[in-house]
Amino acid sequence: MAMVLRKQLTMLGAGLLLLLAGLPLAYQFWPARPPPPTVIGSDAVQGLQQLQSHAGANAEDWQGERWTLVFFGFTHCADVCPATLSRIVTVLDQLGEQAAQLQPLFITLDPERDTPEHLTAYIRFFDKRIQGLTGTPEQIRQVAEAWGVYSRKVPLNGSYMLDHSSSLYLLQPDGELVRRFSGQQGSADLADEIAMLLTTY
């Protein structure tokens, strides 16, 4: 019995060594995510003006007057995007009257499927205060690159999903990046931080 156990442990140890030995090679082929931006340049903010709103609005309707909470995602997302948008709605509700100072933007990373009409139907499930933006594939690519947003198509059952970063970006009315929030931050903490920033800047 002891001999069998020693043999199993030896095989397990050998398997672990092979796994560890293969990690450096696997890492070379793992898609690298760019570091999150610490500054959003004026060209990145202006790039939003080229995008099309699901509601027919344009950037001039909110730029320079309201703070902006930006989230990049796509409507076919199964978990992260609907959870984040629901969290944004909770934040708006918790902000109360301060919510009028904030414009949430949902920028699609999947313009081939996320037309203005599709965005309209999707955002209706969450909150009409959220503005959805789309554009041509080239426009979306340029905006994502300017914001340092990671996105990669993953084939799935004859179609595809997107692997993408999930950060939230809070910008002052002048377009300056004030805070980048983790996509996993809870709504209560998020609302408290945003409320404090709205009153201190």
Q: Which two tokens stand for residue 105?
A: 């933007």
DSSP for the chain reads: -HHHHHHHHHHHHHHHHHHHHHHHHHHHHSPPPPPPPS---HHHHHHGGGSEETTS--GGGTTTTSEEEEEEE-TT-SSHHHHHHHHHHHHHHHHGGGGGGEEEEEEES-TTT--HHHHHHHHTTT-TTSEEEE--HHHHHHHHHHHT--EEEEEETTEEEEEE---EEEE-TTS-EEEEE-TT--HHHHHHHHHHHHHH-
Give the model's confidence band at 59: pLDDT under 50 very low, under 70 low, under 90 confident, else very high. low
Q: How far apart are CA 145 and CA 171, in angstroms?
A: 17
Quick: pLDDT tens for 126-184.
999 999 999 999 999 999 988 889 999 999 888 999 999 989 999 998 888 899 998 88
Average pLDDT, the chain: 80
Q: Residue 81 pLDDT more than 90?
A: yes
> Hunting for tokens 């959870």 — which residue is that?
83
Of the given ranges (60-64, 94-98, 103-107, 126-130), which has the lowest mean pLDDT? 60-64
pLDDT, residue 13, reads: 45
Residue 2 has a pLDDT of 45
- Mean per-residue pLDDT, 65-71: 91
Give me the residues paired with residue 184 across strands: none
Q: Does 6 have pLDDT greater than 70? A: no
pLDDT for 19 beyond 90: no
Share of the chain above pLDDT 70, in %: 73
For the chain, report the end-to-end CA distance as a whole number of angstroms: 70
In angstroms, rounded to a whole number, what is the distance separating the alpha carbons of residues 162 and 70? 18
How many other CB atoms are found less than 10 A from the CB of residue 21?
9
Superfamily of domain 42-200, CATH level 4: Glutaredoxin (3.40.30.10)
Q: Which of 44-48, 76-80, 122-126 has the lowest mean pLDDT?
A: 44-48
* Listed range (11-15, 34-38, 93-97, 156-160) with the worst mean pLDDT: 11-15
Whole-number pLDDT of residue 43: 61
Q: What CA–CA distance (Å, rounded) separates 129 from 105?
A: 9
pLDDT at 176: 85
Residues 23-53: tens digit of each pLDDT? 344 334 334 444 555 556 556 676 787 888 8
